[in-house]
Amino acid sequence: MEHEGHRQRMRDRFLKQGLEGFAPHEVLELMLFYAIPQKNVNPLAHDLLEKFGSLHSVLEAEPRRLCQVKGIGEYAAAFLSLFAPVARYAQMEKAGERVTLATRQKAEDYCVKLLEGERREVFYAICLNGQMQVLYSAMIARGSLTNVPAYPRLVVEAALLHNAHSVMLCHNHPGGSLIPSQEDVEVTRRLGAVLQGMDITLIDHMIVADGKALSMVASRLIRQESSPEGLSNRAADSSGGIRSCSKLPMGEQKAE
């Protein structure tokens, strides 16, 4: 069939030169070959780009929205939705092998990258060794657009599983506000108390929004008992220490 020859030529081109020179619709078409094997997917690639505006937006779209495009079924939607999180996962795994969060700027950059592209609130516990090297970034929970539950038991389990000396928490505010809610602060203090009881230090809690990060320690919203010099020299605290927590909600505080 005509489109079978086209598919083979596209695959050969990719294997020979990678994606160099490919137009966005061609990249999407190449991906769709493997999700929809018996159909000409060129018009479908154009339809997806017309609806979402860019290849990036297509790959970041929720499966249910992808299914709104005629010709995209549940399988194809799930397949397309897999690429962006897999790329992030691989990137963070690679970075985690060598990243040292010895300064606040490095910690902020890491958290921003970790949560890049997330459309809903996501809560992470970043497990660190004594040299502030990332051992593992554990996704603890994924919530709604404005709320994510923080499970102390899962945070502790992740820390113990990866033999963490300390933990840094981070979650995002998809609405764009960097301002922590009072719930954010209270939950962080309680999680800190739980970790402290396991002899694990809570280093900080980063709020991420619009490509920026806010440190609760630097903002004097929580006290950090001990930390490497790079993080502590800008984070002396005068506000309440880590108090003592079940399922705890993290919410977004809108700026007034």
Choice between 89 and 242, residue whose per-residue pLDDT is larger: 89
Measured CA to CA, the distance from residue 204 to residue 104 in angstroms comes to 9
Say if residue 240 is in the same domain as residue 120.
Answer: yes
Which amino acid would we find at residue 180?
Answer: P
pLDDT tens, residue by residue, 13-38: 999 889 989 999 999 999 999 999 88
Total domains, the chain? 2
Final residue of a structural domain among 58, 88, 118: 88
CATH of the domain at 177: 3.40.140.10
Q: How large is the average pLDDT for residues 206-214? A: 94
Q: Is the pLDDT of residue 59 over 70?
A: yes
Q: Is the pLDDT of residue 175 over 80?
A: yes
Say if residue 138 is in the same domain as residue 58.
Answer: no
Domain extent for 84: 2-88
Choice between 135 and 237, residue whose per-residue pLDDT is larger: 135
Please, are residues 159 and 152 in contact by the beta-carbon 8 Å criterion?
no
Q: At what angle do helices 42-52 and 24-35 cross, to 10 degrees?
A: 120
Closest CA to 106 of 217, 224, 213, 226: 213
Q: Is the pLDDT of residue 53 over 90?
A: yes
Distances (CA, A) of 37 to 6, 14, 33, 67, 167: 12, 17, 5, 17, 45
| pLDDT the model gives residue 246 | 36
Q: Which residues contact 2 (CB under 8 A, 6 or more apart)?
A: none
Question: Model confidence at 241, in pLDDT bands (50, 70, 90)?
Answer: very low
The overall average pLDDT reported for the chain is 82
Measured CA to CA, the distance from residue 182 to residue 254 in angstroms comes to 11
Final residue of a structural domain among 57, 88, 119: 88
| Within-domain flag for 94 | no
Q: How large is the average pLDDT for residues 116-131? A: 90
